[in-house]
Amino acid sequence: MTNTNNIILNNTQIEQKIRRMAFQIYESNSDENEIIIAGIADNGFFLAEKIADAVNKISPLQVTLCKVSINKKKPTTPITTSITSDEYKNKALVLVDDVLNSGTTLIYGVKHFLEVPLKRFKTAVLVNRNHKKYPVKADFKGISLSTSIKEHVVVEFKSNETIAYLS
């Protein structure tokens, strides 16, 4: 059970952040016909779906969703994507994850996509924390949060609501 005192973002706030991020993504890709929104499974992909839906509502961009599977315990193992590299080659791509903590997952995701030429490459996260181990940044972020190293940010995607809280 979630302690309501620890909620960072409620459903309404998250929806607002997603809408703002969608506008920023559209603004930086307004010269494109198509954009790939690649979400890191599982929560990053749930967020990517919401961002893609928001971009579709505000822009004429054709949005292609891509699910990125990374073994978070062993990020050096091969990464798989739900679409082929030919489908994102020479296109604008936004890599999405729910929380940027140490940067490990995002940096390995970035490394994977750097093996194919892209027209433009950006990253997006809902919660950006300040405990980075790698030099990776979020180009689009819902909220930046200074937390202690012992605190853990959890984003819960449910069918009717999404919340972010400290555990």
**What does the pLDDT look like over 99-120, one tens digit per residue?**
998 899 999 999 999 999 999 9
Residue 97: cis peptide before it, omega within 30 degrees of 0: no
- Cβ neighbors of 106 (< 8 A, separation 6 or more) are 40, 95, 97, 100, 123, 125, 134, 136, 138
- Is the confidence at residue 150, as pLDDT, over 90? no
Domains of the chain are: 4-166 (3.40.50.2020)
- Residue 151's pLDDT band (cuts 50, 70, 90): confident
User: Which pTM value belongs to this model?
Assistant: 0.94
Strand order of the β-sheet with 92-100 is 80-81, 62-69, 34-40, 92-100, 120-129, 140-145
Q: Which two tokens stand for residue 69?
A: 């599977």
DSSP category for residue 6: G
pLDDT of residue 147: 79
- Compute the distance between CA of residue 107 and CA of residue 136 in angstroms, rounded to an integer: 6
